[in-house]
């Protein structure tokens, strides 16, 4: 997330989407999604959001570094 609250998603060096994390539009999309019942989903705190797709998931030894 950039310092201005904009989130960018990149795939193989191509930006595929960007959005404002605190926007009413994003809150409305979450409210209409399968995540509506998860309190705090998409919280404005933190820089990473890890999710599963209905299966048991384990995360271990996650390292974050700046790409250059």
As averages over each run of 10 residues, the pLDDT of the chain (68 residues) reads 79 90 88 87 72 81 82
Per-residue pLDDT at 1: 62
What 8-state DSSP symbol labels residue 18?
Answer: E
Q: How far apart are CA 41 and CA 26, in angstroms?
A: 11
Q: Are 25 and 19 in contact (CB under 8 A)?
A: yes
Total-model pTM: 0.56
Per-residue pLDDT at 35: 84
Per-residue pLDDT at 2: 67
Per-residue pLDDT at 32: 94
């Amino acid at each position: 997330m950039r310092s201005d609250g904009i989130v960018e998603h990149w795939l193989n060096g191509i930006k595929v989407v960007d959005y404002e994390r605190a926007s009413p539009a994003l809150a409305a999309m979450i409210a209409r999604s399968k995540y509506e019942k998860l309190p705090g989903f998409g919280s404005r705190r933190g820089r990473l959001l890890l999710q599963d797709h209905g299966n048991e998931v384990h995360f271990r030894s996650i390292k974050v570094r700046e790409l250059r």
